[in-house]
Amino acid sequence: ARRKERPCHFDKAVYRRRNVVERCFHRLKQWRGIATRYDKHPTRYQAAITLASTLIWLDT
């Protein structure tokens, strides 16, 4: 006898928020210095992420 499988729970709001975050990371990784972590100093890396995020935000 086969077990009756339950469908997995799908929360549309959670999926939408996760998708926004994943798309943001995808756009940030298009910046070579951020994707390869070229700058090893934490404050400079944070500055690069801030700069890239600002430019992405201004572009939309």
Q: What is the pLDDT of residues 1-60, one digit of tens each?
A: 567 777 778 889 999 999 999 998 899 889 888 888 887 889 998 999 999 999 999 987
Q: Positive or negative, the Cα torsion across 7, 11, 12, 18?
A: negative
In this prediction, residue 5 carries a pLDDT of 77
Q: What are the strands, taking DSSP E only, across 1-60?
A: none
Residue 4 has a pLDDT of: 74
Q: Please state the separation of Cα 27 from the chain's center in Å.
A: 8
**How far from chain centre, in Å, is Cα 34?**
12
Q: How far apart are CA 23 and CA 14, in angstroms?
A: 14
Where in the chain are the domains?
12-59
